[in-house]
Amino acid sequence: MLIRVAVITPEDFAPRITAHAEHFNDIKFTTYIYRNPMECETLVQQIQDCDVLLFAGPLPYYYGTRRSTRKQQLPSVYIPSDEYTLTLNLGHILLNREEGLRFLSVDTPKQRYLEQAVAEWQLDSSGWHVKDYSQIVDGEGTPFDPEDMIRFHRENFECGRSNLILTSVDYVYERLRLLDIPCINMIVPEKSIRETVARAAHFGQLMISENAQIAVGLAAINQLEEGGGTQPNAGIMLQQMLLDLGKETDASIQQLGLDQFIIYGTRGSIEQMTRNFTQMPAMGNMEDLFGVSISMGFGFGMTAKEAEAHARIGLFHARKQERNSSAFLVTHEKEVIGPLSANSKTFHLKSENRDLLHVAEQTGMSVATISKLSAFIKLRRENSFTATDLAEYLQLSRRSAERVLKKMVNHQFIVPVGEEQPYRQGRPRAVYRINF
C-alpha cells in the first residue's frame, strides 16, 4: 500500500529528500515549500491526503506542529541538526575554508550539540561566538528569532569578532549572503536524510497497518426520564444518522433492536468518524427532540469477536455518564479513551507487571502513565532526566509533567539527584532518577 509523505522543506533542499523515493517501492512524496520556517504553522494546515509529515529540520517541525492538531493526527519526523551534523560541518570548514575555525560565529538548536562536536575534534573554541535557540527542543531557554539571529551574526562579522558564519537556518543564510558576509549553510549529512526517510516509511507502514484493524461500534439509546418507553422516532433518527456516517466512512450499520445498533468497519473508519478520537460522532439534538441520550462504545481488535468485546466495554463506560450522550473507545491493547472529546482521558484496563501495578496503586496514577515512565527510562542511556525531558516524551505541558513528578517524588518512586543549569538564561532545572 502506498505511503504518502508530505515533505515540508526549503525549495533547494527538496530534491535531496525526494531522491530517496527510489529506495522505497511504496512511498510517494509531495513537497510543501517554505522560505522562512515560521511559515510552517500555516503551511501544515494546507496538507491533505497524507500519512506522515517529514520536516527538513527541527525548526520547521517546531513551527509546523506546536499549535496544529496535525501533531496528534499524523506521525511527524524531522531531519536532525545534531552533534553528528556539526562534527561534519566543522571538518568541512577545517579542510576547505581558508578562514579556518579560529573566529567562528555559529547558531545551533542546542549549545550541547556544539560542545560535543568540539570535543570530538579537540578544538579550541574560545574565539567562537555561539547563539542557540534551545526553546524549540527544550521548551524553555532561548527563543528563535530569525532577525535577532541575523543581527547577531552581522555584528560579530562587522566588529571583527568573527570571519565566518556557520548557520543552521536557510533563511538566515540567504539574508547574510545578500549582505556579502562569508557564510556557510550547514551541510546536512546524507545519512541523516536517509534515516529520517526510513523512519517516515516505518511510521507510515505502522499507521496503515493499525488503520486496517477490525473495528466495531455499539450505539444505544437511553431514556432521560424514568418510566418512559423507547420512542420509535428516536430509533429511526439514530439509524439514519448512523447510516449517513457509514456512507462517509465506509462502515456497515446493522440494527440489533429498537434501541441499539452495531457498526462494523476498520480502525481508519472509526478514526475518521470520531475525528481522530477527539469527538463523539454528531448525534443531533436527540435530548431535546426525544428526551433521550446516546451512548456509544467503539472497540478495536485482531478479530471481530475481540473488537466487539472491546466495544461493549466502551459502551459500559459511556452509559456511566448519566444523562449525557457520550462515547468511549477501547483499543486492541485494552487502552480506554474517553469520553471522546478534545480533552479525552486515557487509561489501561490491565497490566501484568506487578511492580507497575504497585506504583500505580500507591500514587493513584494510571497504569498507562506508569508504563510510559518505565518505557521512558528504557529508551535513555542513563536514568536521569528533567521535567522538560519528561514533558517532551509524554507530550504534556511542563506544568503537567511537574505534577506527575511531584506525585512520584512524594512516594519516593522518583528522587531528585541534582540540578542542571540551562545555557545562558533561566533558573537551574532539577534532575531526577526513577527509583522503581
DSSP letters, 351-398, are: ---HHHHHHHHHHT--HHHHHHHHHHHHTSSSS-B-HHHHHHHHT--H
In this structure, the answer to whether residues 95 and 64 fall within a common structural domain is no
Instruction: Kindly write down the DSSP assignment for every residue of 168-207, as one continuous string.
Output: S-HHHHHHHHHTT--EEEPPPPHHHHHHHHHHHHHHHHHH
Give per-residue pLDDT as tens, 305-332.
Answer: 888 989 999 999 888 887 788 899 988 7
Strands 260-266 and 252-257: antiparallel
Please give the residue range of the domain that contains residue 363.
Answer: 354-434
CATH number of the domain to which 321 belongs:
3.30.70.270
CATH number of the domain to which 412 belongs:
1.10.10.10
The answer to whether 153 and 167 are in contact (CB under 8 A) is yes
Give per-residue pLDDT as tens, 121-142.
Answer: 999 999 999 999 988 877 777 8
Average pLDDT estimate for 371-379:
72
In this structure, the answer to whether residues 259 and 342 fall within a common structural domain is yes
In this structure, the answer to whether residues 276 and 233 fall within a common structural domain is yes
333 DSSP assignment? T
In this structure, the answer to whether residues 59 and 204 fall within a common structural domain is yes
Which of 193-197, 373-377, 389-393 is most confident?
Answer: 193-197
Instruction: For residue 4, count other CB atoms closer than 10 A to its CB.
Output: 17
Q: Is 74 helix (H, G, I), strand (E, B) or coil?
A: coil
Residue 1 has pLDDT above 70, yes or no: no
Compute the chain's Rg from CA coordinates: 26
User: Higher pLDDT residue, 390 or 192?
Assistant: 192
β-strand partners of 418: 431
pLDDT at residue 165, rounded to an integer? 97
Residue 294 has pLDDT above 60, yes or no: yes
In this structure, the answer to whether residues 248 and 108 fall within a common structural domain is no
In this structure, the answer to whether residues 13 and 30 fall within a common structural domain is yes
Number of domains in the chain: 4
**Residue 347 grid coordinates:** 487509561
User: Of 136, 169, 185, which closes a domain?
Assistant: 185
CATH number of the domain to which 115 belongs:
3.40.50
In this structure, the answer to whether residues 219 and 334 fall within a common structural domain is yes
In this structure, the answer to whether residues 338 and 229 fall within a common structural domain is yes
Average pLDDT estimate for 215-230:
76
pLDDT at residue 72, rounded to an integer? 47
Nearest residue to 53 via CA among 11, 4, 18, 17: 4
In this structure, the answer to whether residues 155 and 130 fall within a common structural domain is yes
* C-alpha distances out from residue 404 to 18, 54, 369, 387, 397, Å: 41, 31, 9, 9, 11
Average pLDDT estimate for 39-52:
88
Give per-residue pLDDT as tens, 388-411.
Answer: 888 877 767 788 888 889 989 998
